Amino acid sequence: MLSIFDGLRQLNMYSAAFRLFLAVICGGIIGLEREFKRRPAGFRTHILICLGAAMTTLTSQFLYLYMHYFTDMARLGAQVIAGIGFIGAGTIITRRERIKGLTTAAGLWAAAIVGLAIGGGFYEGALITTVLIELAELVFAQIDFALLKHSPEINLYIEYESREALDTVFAYFREKEIRLIDLEITHSKVTAKHNACAILSVRMNRHVTADEMMVKLKSIKEIILIEEI
């Protein structure tokens, strides 16, 4: 452990203030990327969760060291880890068979863990974890996008006006040797007209990128909406 933090590991007014301030900084850093992408839980939410978790650990230590309540000091922290799942679940949205918000939910959970570590005086672990979380959300996200761009299998949601739209889509698949793996046809509940919609799973040809395919399919007049899910 770093000796520079040794004086702040004992619980007193100065160390408590430093821990809470550091929780605000680390929570804010984690939440900046989510705020930039306009996610439901952004800058302030991550700060509040990290700060609350840090205060939870501080309260546990205070009750044990100063109030002499000889109970399990880890109990309150364990409840934070379990309870943060409810907030994370609220950020997950399912729309047209597409799940969004998992990264935000995981970030909230990680921010709570960082807060618990800060509240316990484990500054090194909290700072390192904050840096790694930022790497996962910024740097590793670019790797994720690159892998998805060349993914061999893609799921598509298509909303169309007439059967001819699907015939044109299938003709394009045959031309580019794109294999249709699965097809589900239903009616859209999103628009008032209740247009027909299809959910397709396709295996890409390595000579055709997903972007090229999407541009071509979006140019079909009978298609109202198409997006990857």
What are the pLDDT digits (tens) for 147-188?
666 667 888 989 998 888 999 999 999 999 999 999 988 765
pLDDT for 151: 65
Contact 162, 222 (CB under 8 A): yes
pLDDT for 115: 93
User: Which tokens hold the place of 148?
Assistant: 């998805």
Question: What does the pLDDT look like over 134-149, one tens digit per residue?
Answer: 888 887 777 766 666 6
Low pLDDT (below 70) residues in the chain:
40, 93-99, 144-151, 187-194
Question: What domains sit in the chain, N to C, each tagged with a CATH number?
Answer: 3-148 (no CATH), 153-228 (3.30.70.260)
pLDDT for 117: 93
pLDDT for 219: 92
C-alpha–C-alpha distance, residues 95 and 122, integer Å: 40
